[in-house]
Amino acid sequence: MVINRNQVLFIEELKSDSRVVEAIKKAKENQRNGELSELKK
């Protein structure tokens, strides 16, 4: 994921157990798994 600095409206600290952090972790894991499956082809 790439976010341009000029597109950021605000920054907020996130708790490690928040739903947002869990969604980010899940998306990263899915992205890694997708990259691995692409390498196997």
Q: 1-41, pLDDT tens digit by residue? A: 788 999 999 999 999 999 999 998 998 888 888 765 555 55
DSSP characters over 2-25: ---GGG--------TTSHHHHHHH
pTM: 0.54
Q: Is residue 10 part of a domain?
A: no
Model pLDDT, residue 35: 64
Model pLDDT, residue 38: 55
Q: Is residue 4 part of a domain?
A: no
Q: Is residue 1 part of a domain?
A: no
Three-class secondary structure of residue 31 per DSSP: helix
Q: Is residue 8 part of a domain?
A: no
- Show the domain range for 28: 15-40
Model pLDDT, residue 36: 57
Q: What total number of domains does the chain contain?
A: 1
What CA–CA distance (Å, rounded) separates 34 from 16?
Answer: 24
Q: Is residue 5 part of a domain?
A: no
Q: Is residue 7 part of a domain?
A: no
